[in-house]
Amino acid sequence: MQVAVIGGDKRQVSLCALLAREGHRVRCFALEKAALPLKAEQAGCLLSCVYGADWVLLGIPSEKGGTVFAPLSVQTITMEELLGALWPGQVLCGGGFSAQSSLAAVRGGLRVYDLLRRRDYAVGNAALTAEGALALLVQHSEESLLGSHILVTGWGRIASLLAPRLRAMGAYVTVAARKAGDRAMAAAQGLDACRFDELERIADDLDFVVNTAPAPVLSDALLTKLRSGTLLLELASSPGFDRDRAQTLGLRPLYAPGLPGQFAPEAAAALYWDTVGAILREKEENDGT
C-alpha cells in the first residue's frame, strides 16, 4: 500500500516508522522538523506526496483554523490546498475535520474517515489521554497523589477513565457532572459526585482540578475560593476555564492538548493504524454482502 502522511505530531512520526516496518511505501510532507525513518520518503511538495497514494493520513486533530495541523513543519497548508491536491476516490483519514472541510471533501469525491467519530478509536485515545494526565499531575506537583483531593469535571470518555485511576492511586476524587445518571455512575465506582453548583463548598479542600468539560463550568467564584498554588489541568477543548484569570489568582493552570502524542506516540500510532485496519475490514465485509 502507498500511504501519504501529512502533518501531525510525534504520533505521525511513529506512524511513518510503523508503516515502513510493515513494508508499505511511505511519503511524508510537513514533517521536516522530525527525525523520520530512512524508509519514509520526505516529499518535496504536497502534490508529489499525495500522488498515487491509496490513503492520505493526517494528524489528530487534522486541522486548526482552516489549516492542516502540522506543528513539526515550518509550512502552512490550508485545508483548501490539501483537498485541491487530491482526486476523486482517494481516501482521506484523520480526526476532527470541520464541517466545511468534510463537505468540501465529499463534494470533491473523496472518501473521508474521521477517526474521532469512531468509538473504537475515541475510547483508545481517551485511555492514552488519561494515562498522560496522570503523568502530568505527578510531574508538575511536589505533592503525592496519595491522599490528595482531586476534582474531575465532566463524565465523558476521558473523565470516566481518569477518575477511577486517580482513586486507585489513593486520591480522594470528586466528580462534578451535569447529568444525574453520570453522577450515579461515578458514585457506583466509589467516587464522590456532585452538581456543578455544589463545587464552591469543596473548593478549599482541593489540591488538583482536572477539567474535561468543554464549557466554562469552573466559575470565577469557584476559582477565587481555590487555594493559591492549586494545579488546574485543562484537558478539554475551548472554552474550558479562564487560564489567564486562574494565573492572576495565584493558581497553576496547565493546558495539555494532544497528550497521546506527547506521552505515548508509538501506542497512539498503533491505535491509529489499528483503526484504519478495522475500517478496511468493515469495508471488505460490506462489499461482500
pLDDT tens-digit map of 29-51: 999 999 998 889 999 999 999 99
DSSP 161: H
Q: How much is the pLDDT for 232?
A: 95
Q: How much is the pLDDT for 243?
A: 86
Does residue 65 contact residue 27 with C-beta atoms inside 8 Å?
Answer: no
Give buried/exposed letters for 221-243 (b at 16+ CB in 10 A, else e).
ebbebbeeebbbbbbbeeebbbe
Distance CA 102, CA 4 (A): 19
Helix (H, G, I), strand (E, B) or coil at 281: helix
Q: How much is the pLDDT for 103?
A: 95
The parts of the chain modelled with pLDDT lower than 70 are 288-289
Q: How much is the pLDDT for 289?
A: 55
Q: Which helix (H) or strand (E) holds 21?
A: helix 10-21
Residue limits of CATH 3.40.50.720 in the chain: 2-117+265-288, 126-257
Cβ-Cβ contacts under 8 Å for 104 (sequence gap 6 or more): 79, 80, 83
Quick one: cell of 90? 482517494
Q: How much is the pLDDT for 30?
A: 97
Q: How much is the pLDDT for 288?
A: 66
Q: Supply the CATH classification number for the domain 126-257.
A: 3.40.50.720
The pLDDT mean for the chain works out to 94
Question: What's the CATH number of domain 2-117+265-288, 3.40.50.720, 3.30.1330.20, 3.90.25.10, 2.30.38.10?
Answer: 3.40.50.720
pLDDT tens string 154-211 = 999 999 999 999 999 999 999 999 999 999 999 999 999 999 999 999 999 999 999 9
